[in-house]
Structure 1
Amino acid sequence: MSTQPQAPVTVVPPMPTRRNAELLLLGFAAVITMVALLIVEANQEQGVGLDLLQYLIGYLALFAGAHIAVRRFAPYADPLLLPVVALLNGLGLVMIHRLDLAAQEISGGTDSSPTANQQMLWTLVGVIAFSLVIVFLTDHRMLARYGYVCGLTGLVLLVIPAILPSSMSEQNGAKIWIRLPGFSIQPAEFSKILLLIFFAAVLVSKRNVFTSAGKHVLGMNLPRPRDLAPLLAAWIASIGVMVFEKDLGTSLLLYASFLVLVYVATERISWVLLGLTLFAVGSVVAYFAFSHVQVRVQNWLDPFADPDGAGYQMVQSLFSFATGGIFGTGLGNGQPGTVPAASTDFIIAAIGEELGLVGFAGVLMLYTIVVIRGLRTAIAVRDSFGKLLAAGLASTLGIQLFIVVGGVTKLIPLTGLTTPWMSYGGSSLLANYVLLAILVRISHNARRPIDTKGPNPAPIASAGTEVISKV
């Protein structure tokens, strides 16, 4: 009886989930936030009171709960996304608390409505929403089924402020709010996520429309005229937001995000050039037709022409950056309260003053990490819809940051967008936590091991897998 040698059995170790690394980084973010808050209190000669302890305990409890949700329901998610956002949110809370102290000093202690408490409440709502999305969105490809519903809902949310009376929708010249008794919301923050889902779903299902080649001009394959309808629709929508809602930031953000997704899906620069040309033409026409666009551009070109009027906010922002210099005045030692809307649109100016160029660059680096990890997720995920959606979400964050920082530093005209996770505002904070949750869910699906023994994938899982070979 002959015996044949058996092949050795190879035991493949399980892929690490990196959740312990995420927990360690969350602890590091909590330490930085706590130290920053203590520095503010010390420089402002404030005692360590009950409010300070509530901030710290609430912050730790919230992100511990978010970590547990990720560990349980998305164990293979990117371990850097949540800790970096937690640090950005923590620094934002510290700066908003610092601005509350400045407001009380300016008002002589009569200002009794600290926005930091409200921002902490909205952080609670945002982290709960983040956890709920992680728990109930078991597969990001489920969103592709509702692409057109998301698109219609996103457009409706954009239109509602434009048709409401100014008393219910307008603030600082822009009609971007829905104001009800005891409640207000900025629907464009949620519209950007819904429209990104719609764009990704349409580009997967209608790839032929965007890849069909027309005339060959200057080394580029131009699209056929009959295939320009999606681009024209996005252009009309963005110009409509600029004209009727006077919201330059949202108009630019949505349109630029659409062009990024089209380029990722087709790898054709011709779509981007056509899109930018259309937007430039629309912007020039809007400049000569509408006074509010002229005011924004004139304040951008020369804010010192009216330093006590229309250009006051930009002038104070530039002074804040100049005062901060390289290393800043130190947390609690500057005068960030001199900039109007410092806790919302101009929180970057407050950071530039008290943390200086070094701290400002560090904050930008944190955002860069989130964007890069999001793009890496887009490269790693296996389905086309996930690639487009992850690339769109990450690119939108990068575009929004560019618009915000560019406007505050006078690189581009001021738009009024908020800084993600740092600026005061419930709508922005809640929407960006939902965006983060979707990105975390996609990263989990991208990094988890492939189950070769499992059942065949559902149609939604394999739909459109041939559309995009790379990002």
Structure 2
Amino acid sequence: MSAGVTRQTPPTDAVSTDTAVVRALKRIRVPQTQRNRELFLLIFAFAINGSALVLVQLGALKAIDWTFLVYCGGLTALVLALHIVLRLLARDADPFVVPIATLLTGLGLAMIYRIDLALKLHGWEAASTRQLAWAGIALVGAIAIVVLLRNYRVLFRYTYVSGLAGVVLLLLPLIPGLGTDANADVWVSFGIFSFQPGEIAKILLAIFFAGYLVRTREALTSVGTRFLGITWPRARELGPLLVIWLVSLGIIVVQRDLGTGLLIFGMFVAMLYVATGKTSWVLIGVVLAALGAFLASRVLPYVGGRFANWLDAFNPEIIERPGGSYQLVQGIFGLAQGGLVGTGLGQGRPYITPLSQSDYILPSIGEELGLIGVFAILCLYMVFASRGIRIGLAGQDDFGKLLATGLSFTIALQVFIMVGGVTRIIPLTGLTTPFLAAGGSSLVANWLIVALLLRISDAVRSRPRVVIG
């Protein structure tokens, strides 16, 4: 050994002590700041929802019916159960997603209940009773996803299975004996039970799109032709986009479902842009969407009627004809009646608009809560979508990033399509307003999206961190 250099080995006791300290620190649970914040927001949401129900009863009945409030208390218990599950299994999940979904679901239930009271509907005939039951099923499904899906990356293995299942669900209403006699072939019926499989199909297709784009991103981002300052993809890379475009047109033509076709195509284009970062894909998608809408309006009477109702809504001939713009005009008049602050819960007449509890739930809320209430709801949707996109951008892997972004954009696009339709910004389509509108399949699908976002956000926040210093 060289002179002046002394090699020292730490005592065995010191090493064992340090190891024990490290293990003890790993066992210490960091204070669940996210979950405490979520609990505070949930209490706030419960207070608003409960107050809305009481005001509806006082405005419509001049009394309080404790029976329905007790049933809603059971729904509150399920939300708290989801919160407890998150504390135990996903303590780093986003704290804003569940409170926002809870508040929107409660406000929608209060307005549906208000319309049922005006129409004197009770029991299972009342849309609010069915909505309450579906909300319970949706929350149980969300809890099951959080408990069973410990690692969302497992879904990547089932990319093509999810795509096939999504296509099968979209085709179910076309099977003889399963479809219903609705305006659009999007419902399946099993006796007294009916369901809209397209709502679940959009989740499965989001999983398929995310997995597919992860696998093919290199080819899609390859160098193409540069024109007008933008690098355009080569012709052979346009295949997937053209296929999805044709599938969307097929849904519009065969099922007479303009909303679902537009939603699926928009979701794919958004995820394609996130995967490649190329603006050219968005421009091509917008051009294809505009071309598809133009062709459909010229060829399909169903779509042409929607455009006529939109462009000339206040024409008396269009208002009075079957399938005309009467519903649209009534909704606009309801929003105008509400003004800035609304007529008050239980004080307006939203029920005179056809389908005021489903397609036109937002004008119903706008009539009784006013422009301020509508803006507050739109802000909730904006925060929900932004949190989901933030979860995606912070993702550890490309699959989680694309899945979270795609699901969040789907909610945002659906809100834009419905709000734009009922306010005459764009033609009205057959979608539902997420969480608010009456519709069990939509409510279940949206709460499953909540569960997936919770799982992805927990994985993002709980990844190992390097501490310096």
Following TM superposition, by how much is the alpha carbon of 1:220 offset from its aligned partner in structure 2, in angstroms? Answer: 1.2
Contact in 2 for aligned 1:196/1:393 (Cα 8 Å): yes
Q: Does 1:248 align with 2:258?
A: yes
Q: Which residue of 1 aligns with 2:374?
A: 360
Structure 1: unaligned runs, 5 residues or longer: 453-471
CA distance in 1, matches of 2:311, 2:166: 33
User: Structure 2 residue aligned with 1:146, among 141, 158, 183?
Assistant: 158
Q: Does 1:155 align with 2:167?
A: yes
Q: Does 1:266 align with 2:282?
A: no
Following TM superposition, by how much is the alpha carbon of 1:278 offset from its aligned partner in structure 2, in angstroms? Answer: 1.8
Following TM superposition, by how much is the alpha carbon of 1:282 offset from its aligned partner in structure 2, in angstroms? Answer: 2.1
**TM superposition outliers: structure 1 runs of 4+ over 4 Å:** 1-6, 8-13, 109-112
Following TM superposition, by how much is the alpha carbon of 1:174 offset from its aligned partner in structure 2, in angstroms? Answer: 1.0
CA distance in 1, matches of 2:79, 2:327: 35
Following TM superposition, by how much is the alpha carbon of 1:36 offset from its aligned partner in structure 2, in angstroms? Answer: 0.9
Contact in 1 for aligned 2:53/2:69 (Cα 8 Å): no
RMSD of equivalent CA atoms? 2.4
CA distance in 2, matches of 1:262, 1:16: 36
CA distance in 2, matches of 1:232, 1:296: 25
CA distance in 1, matches of 2:290, 2:106: 38
Contact in 2 for aligned 1:103/1:111 (Cα 8 Å): no
SS at match of 1:39: helix
Amino acid at match of 1:160: L
C-alpha offsets along residues 232-263 of structure 1, whole Å, 9 cap, x if unaligned? 11101111111111111111111011000011
User: Structure 1 residue aligned with 2:204, among 183, 194, 197?
Assistant: 194
Aligned pair in 2 of structure 1 residues 110, 150: CA closer, same or farther (>3 Å)? Answer: closer
CA distance in 2, matches of 1:110, 1:118: 11
Q: Does 1:101 align with 2:117?
A: yes
CA distance in 1, matches of 2:387, 2:149: 20
C-alpha offsets along residues 369-390 of structure 1, whole Å, 9 cap, x if unaligned? 1111111111222111111111
What aligned pairs does 1:250-399 form with structure 2 within 5 A after superposition? Answer: 250-305=260-315, 306-309=318-321, 310-399=324-413
Q: Which residue of 2 aligns with 1:61?
A: 77
CA distance in 2, matches of 1:344, 1:392: 24
Amino acid at match of 1:337: Y
Structure 2: unaligned runs, 5 residues or longer: 1-5
CA distance in 2, matches of 1:188, 1:285: 23
Following TM superposition, by how much is the alpha carbon of 1:17 offset from its aligned partner in structure 2, in angstroms? Answer: 4.3
CA distance in 2, matches of 1:184, 1:43: 33
CA distance in 1, matches of 2:65, 2:359: 29
Q: Which residue of 1 aligns with 2:63?
A: 47
CA distance in 1, matches of 2:7, 2:211: 60
Q: Which residue of 2 aligns with 1:466?
A: none
CA distance in 2, matches of 1:260, 1:2: 61
Q: Structure 2 length as normaliser, TM-score?
A: 0.90
Contact in 1 for aligned 2:118/2:351 (Cα 8 Å): yes
Q: Which residue of 2 aligns with 1:455?
A: none
Identity among equivalent pairs (%): 43
Which structure: larger Rg? 2
CA distance in 1, matches of 2:371, 2:100: 20
Aligned pair in 2 of structure 1 residues 34, 231: CA closer, same or farther (>3 Å)? Answer: same
User: Structure 1 residue aligned with 2:136, among 124, 141, 148?
Assistant: 124
Of 15-24 and 119-128, more deviation after overlay is shown by 15-24
Amino acid at match of 2:179: M
Following TM superposition, by how much is the alpha carbon of 1:4 offset from its aligned partner in structure 2, in angstroms? Answer: 12
Contact in 2 for aligned 1:162/1:169 (Cα 8 Å): no
User: Structure 1 residue aligned with 2:103, among 55, 75, 87?
Assistant: 87
CA distance in 2, matches of 1:179, 1:77: 36
Q: Which residue of 1 aligns with 2:248?
A: 238
Contact in 1 for aligned 2:116/2:122 (Cα 8 Å): no
Following TM superposition, by how much is the alpha carbon of 1:164 offset from its aligned partner in structure 2, in angstroms? Answer: 3.6
Following TM superposition, by how much is the alpha carbon of 1:307 offset from its aligned partner in structure 2, in angstroms? Answer: 2.0
Amino acid at match of 1:73: L
CA distance in 1, matches of 2:308, 2:291: 18
Of 211-220 and 128-137, more deviation after overlay is shown by 211-220
Q: Structure 1 length as normaliser, TM-score?
A: 0.90
Q: Does 1:73 align with 2:81?
A: no
Aligned pair in 2 of structure 1 residues 110, 343: CA closer, same or farther (>3 Å)? Answer: closer
CA distance in 1, matches of 2:460, 2:72: 34
Aligned pair in 2 of structure 1 residues 2, 447: CA closer, same or farther (>3 Å)? Answer: closer
CA distance in 1, matches of 2:184, 2:248: 15
Amino acid at match of 1:364: L
CA distance in 1, matches of 2:420, 2:65: 38
Q: Which residue of 2 aligns with 1:209?
A: 219
CA distance in 2, matches of 1:15, 1:48: 40
C-alpha offsets along residues 327-370 of structure 1, whole Å, 9 cap, x if unaligned? 11110000010111111111001011000000000011111111
Contact in 1 for aligned 2:435/2:442 (Cα 8 Å): yes
SS at match of 1:18: helix
Q: Which residue of 2 aligns with 1:32?
A: 48
CA distance in 2, matches of 1:224, 1:449: 38
Following TM superposition, by how much is the alpha carbon of 1:72 offset from its aligned partner in structure 2, in angstroms? Answer: 1.4
User: Structure 2 residue aligned with 1:422, among 417, 436, 446?
Assistant: 436
Following TM superposition, by how much is the alpha carbon of 1:308 offset from its aligned partner in structure 2, in angstroms? Answer: 2.9
CA distance in 1, matches of 2:174, 2:296: 17
